[in-house]
Amino acid sequence: MAKQLFLYYLCPVILSVTISEAFILCAGRQFVIYTGIHTEWTFYFGISFVGFFGIYFLYFAVTCFQFHKNIGL
């Protein structure tokens, strides 16, 4: 059952990572232009990626736990 839940949760992750990558690339480039601080865009993307996956993993774990609890596994 965890595999089935994983597949259902994978589709929104792929979409959100794709959208956030484009947004962070644009925002990071503008940040460098306006502030003059030269930092790679991957740094900003990495921070948002880790935060997103931390919350998303907790959400998946709670859902998986509740699912197993409800079906009695």
Residues 15-29 pLDDT 10s: 888 888 888 788 878
| Helical ranges in 1-73 per DSSP H | 2-35, 41-71
Residues 14-70: tens digit of each pLDDT: 888 888 888 878 887 887 788 888 777 677 778 878 888 899 889 888 988 888 888
- Between CA 45 and CA 1 the distance in angstroms is 31
Task: Report whether 16 contacts 52 (CB < 8 A).
Answer: yes
Q: Look up the pTM and report it.
A: 0.61
